[in-house]
Structure 1
Amino acid sequence: GILDPEPFRARFIACMDDDFNTAQALAVLFELAREINRARAAGVRVAKAQETLRELAGVLGFTLEEPRKPVLNAEPFIELLIEIRAELRQAKQWQLADRIRGRLSELGVVLEDTPKGTSWRHAR
């Protein structure tokens, strides 16, 4: 199913029309946020309700943003996998070495084996 945000919108507008009852309007926003969390946990689609929450919060001057994922430098991990792959190749563990190459390729990392060793680059 889908969480319908319209009853919350109607209650919010009624609060604001009631002499700008921002305390009650804010309570409606908290209730909507709680329902979004419950619905999401139950597997219900909440995108429209989330958009409504952002919109109504904006009326009160609040800005709601998606949490940002921390940026992680992948380079040391790629280098580590290349080292492990080199050890596997030296031990003639071709299947596992090829699996590392394949998974890196799926992730957009191209390995280039040369007589001097393995280098890598991002796929274009």
Structure 2
Amino acid sequence: MDLDTQHNAQTQVPDYYDVLQCSHRSTQDQIHRSYRQLALQHHPDKTSSNNPQWDVIREAYETIGDDLKRAQYDRWRMSKLPVPFKQWVRSQAHAVHWAFDYQRAIQSDQKKWWDARERREGAGDLYEKFRHYEI
């Protein structure tokens, strides 16, 4: 993927909230009502021709109509990453993030060394931000 394609990846994909004519603050009930209104207008059973807009509406509802997918979509949307949403979701399926309990895993004398190291380096805040996906 060249730089221009990467840069425009988010701008080429329609915003699912705009497609469903709602806001990112909308409740699931509001999203569902908006989807039903659009379905009455654009569903292939209701119109005589094959409407390509229906596929986008259906995809938008499948994504933000589900709480888990909506959370993923919101994270992707706020990240401004130059990767299409579907590709980003596939990449997240392969990422592994392990939590590690240092209190139980490190012996007491090693724990003293570890705590002193963190105080010296000041890595605690940076590490916590990394673990919570803030950076």
Do both share a fold (TM > 0.5)?
no
What TM-score, normalized to structure 2? 0.28
Write 1 or 2 for the structure with the bigger share of strand: 1
What TM-score, normalized to structure 1? 0.30
Greater C-alpha Rg: 1
